[in-house]
Amino acid sequence: MITINKGISVIKTKKGNLSLRITDSDGSIKTLHSVYDPEAEAANIVEAFEFNGKGLLVVLGLGLAYHLKELSKKYPETDIIVVESEQEIYELADKHGLELNARTRLFVGIPPRQVLKEITNLQMKEGILPVSVFTLAPAVSVFSEYYGPIIDSLNKITSVRLWDRIKYPKFRQDTQKVVLIDTGYFLVKEAEKALLSLNHKVRRVPVGKTAGGDVVLSQFVEAILDFKPDFILTINHLGFDEEGALTSFFRSIEMPVASWYVDSPRLIVQAFKKNVSPYVSMFLWDRTYIDDMKKMGFESVNYLTLGTDIDVFRPMKIKGQGQRLRDFVCDVGFVGNSMVGPVNEYMSKFDREFHPLIDRLAEKVAAGESFGIGMLPYNLDVKQKMDFEAAVLWKATLLYRRSCIEKLNGFSVRVHGDTGWKDLLDSHYDLKPPLNYYNELPKFYNACKINFNATHLQMSEAVNQRVFDVPACGAFLLTDYQKCIDELFDAGKEITVYRDKEEVPGLVRFYLDNPGERERIAGRGRERVLRDHTYGHRLGSMIRSMRERYA
């Protein structure tokens, strides 16, 4: 007998080959293979194993691999995953001639959750690839705490054969069914409400940041089987994995996906190239990113700007609304992030030698110059380039917003946002904490004589949420000019814009002194929002686009 580690030992069998002996914590002894002829035992077990060779074969327990050798011989075209809980057992098998063919993958000692994630990823890439399980029974019995959770999860996967039920025609009815990926992002609620208002049906599938692949797959399979959606809707590609497993799964079952980007897709999906698929339609709130997405390989790329919820953002009378609304009354109000936190976060990703370059580029972008990430004098990988671009844009936005708000100096100005504003603005400004988007922000917009806006510089042509929410309240908006404004509003009649920061003081003074003109513009702005810019308008446009492509 050759003892390698306490509790695990190699013994010679009566046929002269080897078996493994395990001494359990209670002193009981078990062997993983026959003590007479383990090769014959393996051949008999594999011969009795009911498996047609199709799909993915998961082998639980490696032992000295007698059964694995027989399985590989009998099913040479099958992908096999071998899961072994003990590093010592793997080392013994390797020492005594372990051979793995190209279609066999071995996982040793990794947590059961990670094992299930790997299995699920392989499954999804092939579209619910059938999974069969072969157990080395003595190993599973001895190490039950490790193998038990894996077996329980695999039993759920293997208990149903899904292919003929999960692949079906879409868009056959006037009413569409939409599975909405719910990651907690604010726009999920608005999208669901708009779809329901258009008489479509919605099923939310919650996806947490730490959810494993097995959990995500089972949630989608359950929703698809039960709800039979026409397409999946995600915001900013949230809920999708970097490896593209979920995208591959949806492609394999011909399930359309709509991804509505309301932030820079270049800073999100560029490192997720495996998420490119003809079954993923992109909807971008800024059309300047369309060419980038098409170059990545997306075939269906559409322009879909933001909108607003007119039930939340609506006119409110100052009188009769209580003290809270009256407390918001001010001449000029601004709500937004100082970007101090995001700038510090992204700057920390780079050595200090990069910081001066980031600062210089940010100053140029804030002044209106374009920025090309391909012009960097550094050899950065895709993720580093994304982080670098974000650092520049975030810092440029900080500089730009501060410079715009500084033009308001001399007026009664209230700024609601993060504590970073205290580092950027002096005591002339009334600095207040962030507002709740649904409960407090509509009141603030109604209470401000002038709502001021300075757009985040990740938006080359697009407008932000404020440009729709403020007019929806019947409130007055003064915003920086963006190219797409001309197609959304009649500038000067429905909203007011400044094309240069130097215009800001004069415009603010004029509209403070002319409340009647302010109210007329605000009223026309609300009429335009009601006519063209609700979330119902946006989701209706998305539905029409998805029907045209996938019906």
**What pLDDT was estimated at residue 323?**
53
Answer yes or no: is pLDDT of 321 > 70: no
How does DSSP assign 296-351, residue by residue?
HT-SEEEE----B-TTTS----STTS-HHHHHT-EEEEEE---SHHHHHHHHTTS-
At 438-494, the pLDDT tens digits run 999 999 999 999 999 999 999 999 999 999 999 999 999 999 999 999 999 999 999
Domain 40-159 has CATH 3.90.226.10: no
289 band by pLDDT with thresholds 50, 70 and 90:
very high
Domain 323-533 has CATH 3.40.50.2000: yes
Between CA 262 and CA 9 the distance in angstroms is 59
Judged by DSSP in three states, 526 sits in helix
Between CA 417 and CA 432 the distance in angstroms is 6
Answer yes or no: is pLDDT of 8 > 80: yes
At 369-413, the pLDDT tens digits run 876 655 565 677 778 888 898 999 999 999 999 999 999 999 999
Alpha-carbon distance values, 286 to 115, 134, 272, 275 (Å): 40, 51, 20, 20
Which DSSP category does 289 fall into?
A: G
Between CA 535 and CA 92 the distance in angstroms is 62
Is 83 in contact with 150 (CB distance < 8 Å)? yes
3-state helix, strand, coil in the chain (%, to 5): 45, 20, 35
Mean pLDDT, range 489-505, rounded to an integer: 96
Answer yes or no: is pLDDT of 2 > 60: no
**What pLDDT was estimated at residue 239?**
87
Phi and psi dihedrals of 303, rounded to 5? -95, 125
Stated pTM of the model: 0.76
Element (H, E) at 508: helix 504-513
Decide which of 374 and 264 is more confident: 264
Answer yes or no: is pLDDT of 72 > 80: yes
User: What does the block give as tokens for 448?
Assistant: 């401000």
Between CA 473 and CA 523 the distance in angstroms is 9
Between CA 501 and CA 505 the distance in angstroms is 8
Q: How many residues does the chain have?
A: 551
Answer yes or no: is pLDDT of 90 > 90: yes
Is 475 in contact with 522 (CB distance < 8 Å)? yes
Mean pLDDT, range 253-268, rounded to an integer: 90
Domain locations in the chain?
Answer: 40-159, 165-307, 323-533
User: What does the block give as tokens for 201?
Assistant: 């049906």
One-letter amino acid of 470? V
**What pLDDT was estimated at residue 210?**
64
Between CA 114 and CA 356 the distance in angstroms is 41
**What pLDDT was estimated at residue 4?**
41
**What pLDDT was estimated at residue 213?**
57
The stretches of 407-534 forming alpha helices (DSSP H) are 421-424, 441-447, 466-472, 485-488, 504-513, 515-532
How does DSSP assign 262-276, residue by residue?
SS-GGGTTTT-GGG-
At 154-194, the pLDDT tens digits run 876 665 455 567 789 999 999 999 999 999 988 999 999 99
5 band by pLDDT with thresholds 50, 70 and 90:
very low
Is 455 in contact with 294 (CB distance < 8 Å)? no
**What pLDDT was estimated at residue 324?**
66
Answer yes or no: is pLDDT of 212 > 50: yes
Asked whether this chain's domains 40-159 and 323-533 adopt the same fold, the reply is yes
**What pLDDT was estimated at residue 203?**
97
How much is the mean pLDDT over the chain? 89
**What pLDDT was estimated at residue 530?**
98
At 408-453, the pLDDT tens digits run 999 999 999 999 999 999 888 999 999 999 999 999 999 999 999 9
At 14-55, the pLDDT tens digits run 999 999 999 876 778 889 999 999 999 999 999 999 998 888
Mean pLDDT, range 49-69, rounded to an integer: 92
Nearest by Cα to 547 from 230, 202, 227, 194: 230
Question: Superfamily assignment of 165-307 in CATH?
Answer: Response regulator (3.40.50.2300)
Judged by DSSP in three states, 88 sits in helix
One-letter amino acid of 205? V
Between CA 289 and CA 305 the distance in angstroms is 12
**What pLDDT was estimated at residue 393?**
93
**What pLDDT was estimated at residue 3?**
39
Decide which of 400 and 128 is more confident: 400
